[in-house]
Amino acid sequence: MQASDRFNINSQLEHLQAKYVGTGHADMNRFEWAVNIQRDSYAAYIGHYPLLSYFSIAENESIGRQRYTFMQKMLLPCGLPPEREED
């Protein structure tokens, strides 16, 4: 990599995208954005135990079950992705 490349905005962005999940890009669509937010939210629910217990009281499930449900929901948090537009 050349010295000038390191400061190139694109390579910096790529670095960020590789390092931090969810870093956006210019062509990001609504779905990708929402999926990312939802995954972040579920991870936060799992990580904050009081919040997790709050949900499990509301749904009358055990905390372990609620944690598992949230983990499972991270797979497809917003339903199926939209069909790609052919370009």
Partner 1 sequence: MYLYNLTLQRPTGIICAINGNFSGGKGQEIVVARGKALDLLRPDDNGRIQTILSVEVFGAIRSLAQFRLTGAQKDFIVVGSDSGRIVILDYNKEKNVFDKVHQETFGKSGARRIVPGQYIAVDPKGRAVMIGACEKQKLVYVLNRDTAARLTISSPLEAHKSHTLVFSICGVDCGFENPIFAAIELDYSEADQDSTGMAASEAQKNLTFYELDLGLNHVSRKWSDQVDNGANLLVTVPGGADGPSGVLVCAENFVIYKNQGHPDVRAVIPRRADLPAERGVLIVSAAMHKLKNMFFFLLQTEYGDIFKVTLEHEGDRISELKIKYFDTIPVTSSMCVLKSGFLFAASEFGNHALYQFKAIGDDDDVEASSARLMETEEGFQPVFFQPRKLKNLVRIDQVESLMPLMDMKVSNLFEEETPQIFTLCGRGPRSSLRILRTGLAVSEMAVSKLPGVPSAVWTVKKNVIDEFDAYIVVSFTNATLVLSIGETVEEVSDSGFLDTTPSLSVSLIGDDSLMQVHPNGIRHIREDGRINEWRTPGKRTIAKVGSNRLQVVIALSGGELIYFEVDVTGQLMEVEKHEMSGDVACLDIAPVPEGRQRSRFLAVGSYDKTIRILSLDPDDCMQTLSIQSLSSAPESLLFLEVQASVGGEDGADHPASLFLNAGLQNGVLSRTVVDMVTGLLSDTRSRFLGLRAPKLFPIIVRGKRAMLCLSSRPWLGYIYQGHFLLTPLSYETLEFAASFSSDQCVEGVVAVAGEALRIFTIERLGETFNETVIPLRYTPRKFVLQPKRKLLVVIESDQGALTAEEREAARKECFEAAQAGENGTGSADQMENGGEDEDKDDALSDEHYGYPKAESDKWASCIRVLDPRTANTTCLLELQDNEAAFSICTVNFHDKEYGTLLAVGTAKGLQYTPKRSLTAGFIHIYRFLEDGRSLELLHKTQVEGVPLALCQFQGRLLAGIGPVLRLYDLGKRRLLRKCENKQFPKTIVSIQTYRDRIYVGDIQESFHYCKYRRDENQLYIFADDCVPRWLTASYHIDFDTMAGADKFGNIYFVRLPQDVSDEIEEDPTGGRIKWEQGKLNGAPNKVEEIVQFHVGDLISSLQKASLIPGGGECILYGTIMGSIGALHAFTSRDDVDFFSHLEMHMRQDNPPLCGRDHMAYRSAYFPVKDVIDGDLCEQFPTLPMDLQRKIADELDRTPGEILKKLEEVRNKII
Site for partner 1 contains 60 (CB under 8 A): yes
Contact by Cβ (8 Å): 84, 37:
no
24 near partner 1, rule: CB under 8 A: no
- Looking at the Cβ atoms of 6 and 65, the one nearer to partner 1 is 65
By CB under 8 A, residue 38 contacts partner 1: no
Q: How far apart are CA 8 and CA 2, in angstroms?
A: 10
Among 1, 2, 83, 87, binds partner 1 (CB under 8 A): 83
Distance CA 52, CA 57 (A): 9
59 binds partner 1 (CB under 8 A): yes
Nearest distance from C-beta of residue 24 to partner 1, angstroms: 15
DSSP 84: P
Judged by CB under 8 A, does residue 64 bind partner 1?
Answer: yes
